[in-house]
Structure 1
Amino acid sequence: MNFRIEKYLLKKADELAFITIKNDGDFKLEGYKIPNQGLDVPIKNEVLVKGIKENTAQEGINSMSIADAMIYIMGIDSNFKYNDEYKKFLDALEKNINLDIRAYMGYMSRKYFEIGESTDSLIYLKALISQYPDDIEGMYHYAIVCQELAQQYQKDSDNEGMNNFLLEALDKLERVIALDEGFALAYYHLGYHYYNQGQYIKAKVIWEEALNLGLDEDTVAEIQDNIGKMDFKVQYEEGYSLVFQGRSEEALEKLLPLEAEHSDWWNLLFMIGLAYKHMNEIEEAKSYFERILILKPHQVDTMVELGLCEAASYNLEKAIEHFSTAAKIKEDPEILCNLGMAYLNNGELDEAIYYVERAYELNPEDEITVACMRELDNYR
């Protein structure tokens, strides 16, 4: 199982010390044979410190304290070199003292979560689902703790950390419903993940499934409210998808009714403009792209689309103007190629060569750039 958040947990290994248990030493565990070279086992620093303070350090290092630290390091680092050996140790201990390791991991996770130690809680849950990947409850709670930690990273203005924990939660929630299609709360949380990613159709479908599976009255009301409020976003996404499927007339049936109440929503105006452009209604498309630049004067994609509209109407000077402005904001190979081709069609070969070759310098693998280079070869 992959864990995209593991790098955020590795620093917790500093809270462990390692001691070597020798093969011929006093430590024995029925059903487990210590390797001939001995075994490095972890102990939590807090256990050692407590033992030293109470002058009971040796007694503090017992099978259970070792097992707890083994679980901890396995939860921190899924690739730790002794994990397989630690698993053998835990299996033997489970049989020796009638300990339910699975239940213990869950207990320790709850214990730490209740006192606000979310990272430690997550470590035990990660160990749990690594060893028992079919544990649906463990997988669900792991996702919930990931969401909790994402909020902490957000408060610390660490957007990368926040996004990684949210994506980790999303992945594990999807695993939950793959294991149990009737897990209503997983659908409830998944709906928010899809909504926050702008996948409104998917969010609606998932939330409707949650309603069908049965939830408490307050949660049902919350979901119904969410679905109602995002109806226009669902309609926008449907229209957006139709545009890119080449079904522009159908797309406009979805998108145009939204314009009255959302006339300053530039994304909506952009998709309407794109639909008209695909239908070769260039003047109508230009009017929408021009409105966007009033709202967002530096919106590069809109400048490019306006340039393409002007080029399609053989207004090459205006096309060059729009592409040039876009290229100053974002030196992108595709924009530079558009600019170069506009210059070429306007009879300005030197300018065309300059911009297309600059695009090639930025990305010689780009298919559009390679095609433009070939076109230029016909004029050199």
Structure 2
Amino acid sequence: MDKNLLGIQYMQEGKWEEAVKTFTEMIEENPKDPIGYINFGNLLATLGDSERALQFFQKAIELDENAASAYYSMGNLYYEQEQFQQAVNMFETALKKGLESSDNFFMLGMSFIAMEQPRLALPYLQRCTELNEQDAEAFFQYGLCLANEQYIEEAIVQFHTCVKLDQSHADAYYNLGVAYGFKEDGEKALDMFNKALELDPEHILAGHGKKLLES
């Protein structure tokens, strides 16, 4: 098996020492190939060594300034550290370098949400749902942004898509309840709050919504 694929397999299996050995061999055998550095950086990030991970991503970019996945990985690192503007910069650079993946669009959207700029998140989350029609969380987050901008009908469509893909998504049912309440459809709103509470009896917001409708 290709060492790149072997190392990734070891990571997926939690065999960290084997992954380290494999990626180290990749770098030693091909010191000018940025892929080895990116993979080693991803491994270090997974193990919580953010500082060294950043150094490996930067080394990959030194070798190839168009290594889009290095910028994406750096974006994830900054996002986890709650440095959201830096994350946006990295994800946008990855996009400019050709990484038009659903994950990159999703993380761009999530970064803007974290910065309390849902309007800016909208186009990225929309594109994510277009590229990956099975991503329940992307439809949920897209729905939240639409609802925040008062596009209630459009938000309802996204929340319904979310629960169709993930029937255990209590927050999506809760937000459907809120949306139907906004439309003054109390029966549907109550039904959605009840579904949220069936999935999560401790869902405080759904419980509150239900009480308001029943009182």
Q: Same fold (TM over 0.5)?
A: yes
Deviation at 1:268, TM superposition (A): 0.8
Change (3 A) 1:353 1:256: same
Q: Find the aligned partners of 1:354 and 1:246 in 2 and give their Cα distance.
A: 36
Number of equivalenced pairs: 186
Q: Do the aligned partners of 1:248 and 1:279 also contact (CA within 8 Å) in 2?
A: yes
Matched residue, 2:204: 370
Cα offsets for 1:327-377 (capped at 9, x unmatched): 112112122122222222332222121112112222324xxx233212321
Deviation at 1:303, TM superposition (A): 1.1
Q: Find the aligned partners of 1:197 and 1:327 in 2 and give their Cα distance.
A: 35
Instruction: Determine whether 1:264 maps to 2:100.
Output: yes
Q: TM-score, normalised by structure 2?
A: 0.68
Bigger Rg over Cα: 1
Q: Find the aligned partners of 2:41 and 2:194 in 1 and give their Cα distance.
A: 37
Which one of the candidate residues 178, 195, 198 is aligned to 1:361? Answer: 198
Q: Do the aligned partners of 1:277 and 1:285 also contact (CA within 8 Å) in 2?
A: yes
- Aligned AA (2:13): L
Change (3 A) 1:200 1:262: farther
Q: TM-score, normalised by structure 1?
A: 0.41
Matched residue, 2:170: 333
Which one of the candidate residues 275, 280, 285 is aligned to 2:111? Answer: 275
Cα offsets for 1:236-268 (capped at 9, x unmatched): 233224335443222112221110233421111
Matched residue, 2:74: 238
Q: Find the aligned partners of 1:344 and 1:246 in 2 and give their Cα distance.
A: 34
Cα offsets for 1:31-55 (capped at 9, x unmatched): xxxxxxxxxxxxxxxxxxxxxxxxx
Q: Find the aligned partners of 2:103 and 2:144 in 1 and give their Cα distance.
A: 18
More helix by share: 2
Matched ranges for 1:242-321 at <5 A:
242-321=78-157
After superposition, the CA RMSD in angstroms is 3.7
Cα offsets for 1:42-71 (capped at 9, x unmatched): xxxxxxxxxxxxxxxxxxxxxxxxxxxxxx
Q: Which structure 1 segments of 5+ residues have no match?
A: 1-150, 152-161, 174-184, 210-223
Q: Do the aligned partners of 1:240 and 1:251 also contact (CA within 8 Å) in 2?
A: yes
Q: Do the aligned partners of 1:201 and 1:238 also contact (CA within 8 Å) in 2?
A: no
Q: Which structure 2 segments of 5+ residues have no match?
A: 1-5, 27-37
SS of match in other structure, 1:379: helix
Q: Find the aligned partners of 1:266 and 1:256 in 2 and give their Cα distance.
A: 13
State the structure with bigger RCO (CA 8 A, min sep 6), 1 or 2: 2
Which one of the candidate residues 21, 24, 30 is aligned to 1:188? Answer: 21
Cα offsets for 1:191-245 (capped at 9, x unmatched): 69x9499546458948x89xxxxxxxxxxxxxx98x9589643432332243354
Matched residue, 1:106: none
Q: Find the aligned partners of 1:248 and 1:355 in 2 and give their Cα distance.
A: 33
Change (3 A) 1:377 1:364: same
Matched ranges for 1:158-197 at <5 A:
166-167=13-14, 169-170=15-16, 173=17, 187-189=20-22, 195=39
Q: Do the aligned partners of 1:201 and 1:234 also contact (CA within 8 Å) in 2?
A: no
Q: How much identity, in percent, do the aligned residues show?
A: 18
Q: Do the aligned partners of 2:194 and 2:206 also contact (CA within 8 Å) in 1?
A: no
Q: Do the aligned partners of 2:106 and 2:128 also contact (CA within 8 Å) in 1?
A: yes
Change (3 A) 1:231 1:333: same
